[in-house]
Amino acid sequence: MSDNSSIRLILLSNSFHQATLVVMVPILQEIYDLSLSSLGAIIGGGLLVSACTTPIWGHAATKTGARKALMRSAMGSLIGILLLCCSLALAQSSTEHAYFGLFLLIAARLIYSTSAAAVLPVAQALRSNHGNGKSLLGAIGSLNAMNGIGRVAGNALVTPLLLAGSAMPILIVIPAYLYALTGIARGPQSLSKTTSEADRKTRSGLSGLPIFAMAIAATVQVTIGAAYVLLAPLILERLSADATEATSAAGIALTFALLCGIFTQLVLTRLFSDRLHLALTSGIFILFLGLLGLAEASTQLQLSLAACALAIGTALALSANLTAKLQETPKADRPQTSTWLASAQMLGLACGTTLFAYLGDIDLTLALQLAALLACLVFIAILISRVLPVQPLSPRKGTSE
């Protein structure tokens, strides 16, 4: 099994697990006897943990090599999933073990959140060191697509898997992790290091953070967080649907959006492989149009089309943003750059979801229009940055050219 296949399998397993966990919220509430807010705090809190710890994995990858960091983060994900299985078994065995089962649930979520979020950015950094510039956007798009494919599979398969027991949707990914880890361990050792020893001594630290790229990534995710949290309430209001119908309609719209995002990552990104700025600006503009469309949508078709535009725009913008930054970053710093951008995305998603949930209580249309305005400001900032003089990247002291 090749390194690329192993990495894709781990990404699929990660996103499959995350999708099934969200769908299983009512079942987990029943098993652990938790309120929705309590379980949401446990699951949602993992996003903040991931945002805080992902850059640490970038530092580790810069120091010891992206391949080792990738294996360790995947192993951490597997340990978190195994602990979750043990937690379910304890919680369901008897009421005497319920509290210990809940403790294991929290521990499992912390371990998984600490590890799993680093897999994608570390894999992207690893891929960037072994690919040429023209194909890099397509390669990163392919890795990103694995997350969408895993989510679609998780949403589709969770119901039949639950027929075999509440733990089956979680247990089923364990063999995939083991197989992928074995494939990476047996892969060619020439890929085990991403930088030379001299390059490793030139890490930029906080002074070299990709601030502008991080701001773009975070802001895009703020607007996507707004769309996610406001979609079902918007359907409830605009289509005069009840809660069940709104949930179903939102699920349909998001499924189409996921499929469009996967298509964009696998196909459209390759069309922009040597036109990164065009991909970035096009993605932000399509995102802006999608948010405006969502603000004005009044039918299921319009809502679904707007959600698809959001997915296409986000996929193009984030992939191009990351690829452009990796291409101008020395190999020694690429794992750190990739993980910082991933951390910015997670923080943006968390902030967008929280902020626009409050704004949506005031006025749904206004909230979405503000999100569209934010996307428009990012678009303008990118256009302005293109015409401003840029300091050329020069070799750092101590590095070999």
**CA dist., res. 367 & res. 360, Å (int):** 6
**CA dist., res. 356 & res. 358, Å (int):** 5
**CA dist., res. 144 & res. 322, Å (int):** 11
Q: Which of 341, 332, 335, 327 is nearest to 66 (CA)?
A: 335
**CA dist., res. 178 & res. 120, Å (int):** 17
> Which pLDDT score is estimated for 36?
67
The structure's pTM equals 0.81
Can you list the alpha helix ranges (DSSP code H) found in 65-132? Answer: 66-93, 98-116, 119-128
Q: Going by C-beta distance under 8 Å and a sequence separation of 6 or more, which residues neighbour residue 221?
A: 344, 345, 346, 347, 348, 349, 352
> Which pLDDT score is estimated for 134?
57
Cβ–Cβ contacts within 10 Å for residue 351, how many?
17
> Which pLDDT score is estimated for 331?
80
DSSP secondary structure code for residue 195 in this structure: S
**CA dist., res. 158 & res. 23, Å (int):** 8
Q: Which of 294, 322, 296, 316 is nearest to 307 (CA)?
A: 294
**CA dist., res. 59 & res. 185, Å (int):** 21
**pLDDT truncated to tens, each residue of the chain (401 aa)?**
566 788 889 999 999 998 888 778 778 888 888 876 777 777 777 878 888 899 999 888 888 888 888 889 999 999 999 999 999 888 888 666 667 888 898 999 999 989 998 898 988 888 777 655 557 888 888 888 988 898 888 888 888 888 888 889 899 999 999 998 888 877 655 444 444 443 444 444 444 678 999 999 999 999 998 888 888 888 888 887 776 677 677 778 888 888 999 999 988 888 887 788 999 999 999 999 999 999 998 888 898 899 999 999 999 999 999 998 988 888 878 888 899 999 999 888 888 888 888 888 889 899 999 999 999 999 999 999 876 544 444 444 444 33
Phi, psi (deg, nearest 5) at residue 388: -80, 150
Phi, psi (deg, nearest 5) at residue 173: -85, -10
> Which pLDDT score is estimated for 394?
43
> Which pLDDT score is estimated for 112?
92
Residue by residue, DSSP assigns 278-302 as HHHHHHHHHHHHHHHHHHH--SHHH
